[in-house]
Amino acid sequence: MPRHIAIIMDGNGRWAQQRQLSRIKGHKAAIPAVQETVQACVDLKVSCLTLYAFSTENWKRPPAETGTLMALLRQFLRMEMKTVTDYGVRFKPIGDIHELDAGIQKDLRAVEAATQKQTGMTFNLALNYSGRGDIINAFKAAVNAGLPLDSLNENNLSDYMSTAGQPDPDLVIRTSGEMRISNFLLWQIAYSEIWVTDTFWPDFRRKHLEEAIWNYQQRNRRFGGI
């Protein structure tokens, strides 16, 4: 079983387009997929789950769409507060959270604080996230902490990444059939196995997650060796 699963949730807009719906309705239809995936990972005893919800590049979308995404985020946090608490999930937002709306920041920090002592699965939600930015921020934090430049290495720089203290993702899943990483966890996925499905994110369910895990379990991870 992979310890850490990371998912690039993609295809909401195309899902809606196929049904002659607005992109906003596609984003709304994605919430049940998030709920079922979190629940399935808890059931399967996955240690860490990271969902890529909003990248720094997503701000290029129309304001109406980004505004709806942020509203849906607040709705999701309020809906799922009891669920993550009941199942012992530890919630951690990652990304440049300080650049988000003050109300969203407050909601994110509230859920994070309420679950920080939980000992179950860690649920990372990547918001306003950039893999390159994560590396730059880690480097700056290491320097600000007084770490000499000539002593920087893979191990101690990892201590300053947004996912510090967590295992790197074993499995990266991307929905919608796109074959890109999209600036996601660039440092952490150096040796991750990647599984792509044509399924759009709103249609993603536990059976798709289990298919990805089964595929992962058939692979021989060599980490650069033979």
Catalytic residue ranges = 10, 58
Alpha carbons 156 and 142: distance in angstroms, whole number: 8
Report the chain's terminal Cα–Cα distance, integer Å.
22
In 3-state terms, the chain is what percent helix, strand and coil (to 5)? 50, 15, 35
CB atoms near residue 43 (< 10 Å) = 11
Buried b (16+ CB within 10 A) or exposed e, 177-213: eeeebebbbebbbeebbbbbbebbbbbbeeebbeebb
8 Å CB contact between 45 and 89? no
Instruction: Please give the single-letter amino acid code of residue 84.
Output: V
Alpha carbons 91 and 117: distance in angstroms, whole number: 10
SS3 of 77, please?
helix
Instruction: Please give the single-letter amino acid code of residue 82.
Output: K
